[in-house]
Amino acid sequence: MRECKKCHVEILDDTSVCPLCSSVLEESGQGKWRNGYPDVKAVSKKLSFVVRLYSFLAIIVQTVLVIINYLTYRGIWWSAISGIIILYFYITLKYSLQKNNGYKTVILVQLVGAVILMIAADNIVGYQGWSMNYVLPCAILLLNATIGILMIINASNWQSYLLMQILTVLLSAGCVLFWKFHIITSPILTFLSLFASLSMLLGTLIFGERKAKTELKRRFHV
């Protein structure tokens, strides 16, 4: 075991430099530091194994489901829905857990994946439009609510969610375009999501004042 005398931590893996300050490590004495830096490689290997195991089992299960669906086909390829669900959980493991992405990215990936899953399911069972009319705008409303909660919890850094608010406005505007092209036929939730997105962004800009302007300049270099 090695130790960093600058950070006062013990390093459990076999790296030669401190992952915190990049100082050269020395052989540990008698474990006099109380803080220990975790064995990152071991955790990464475990997660990688879990992803590979899931991929192996998923391929087998999906293959069996496709065969069963083919032999008992009654007009609906329900195995496609199971395949999308399996893919959704793979994305969760691969990009949300294994790669340890930030929680903002995780929220967006999970939400987008869930919406795509619902749209695909709607099309597979015979498109009725509920995925676009209700699921998509409700997902935007849920994202707005999540952003609001995160801003309250992380009040000292609320301006960091400004980019996500702009994204919700763009998504809501996209839903309005879908309504214009008759892809969305029941626009009540669509306009509600647009109103909620615009209201939250406008409120942030008005009450945020200098912090909001600084964040916009930092993000868009204007």
pLDDT below 50 — which residues of the chain?
31, 33-34
Q: What pLDDT is recorded for position 4?
A: 75
List CB contacts of 2: < 8 A, sequence separation 6 or more.
10, 11, 15, 16, 25, 26, 27, 28
CB distance 37 to 20 below 8 Å: yes
Q: What pLDDT is recorded for position 172?
A: 95
3-state DSSP helix/strand/coil % of the chain, to nearest 5: 70, 5, 25
**Chain mean pLDDT for the chain:** 82
Alpha-carbon torsion 149, 117, 140, 163, what sign? positive
Q: What pLDDT is recorded for position 87?
A: 85
Q: What pLDDT is recorded for position 68?
A: 93
Would you put residue 50 in left (φ > 0), alpha (ψ -120 to 50) or beta? alpha
Q: What pLDDT is recorded for position 33?
A: 45
Interval 78-126: pLDDT, tens = 888 888 888 888 887 777 665 656 777 778 888 888 898 889 888 888 8
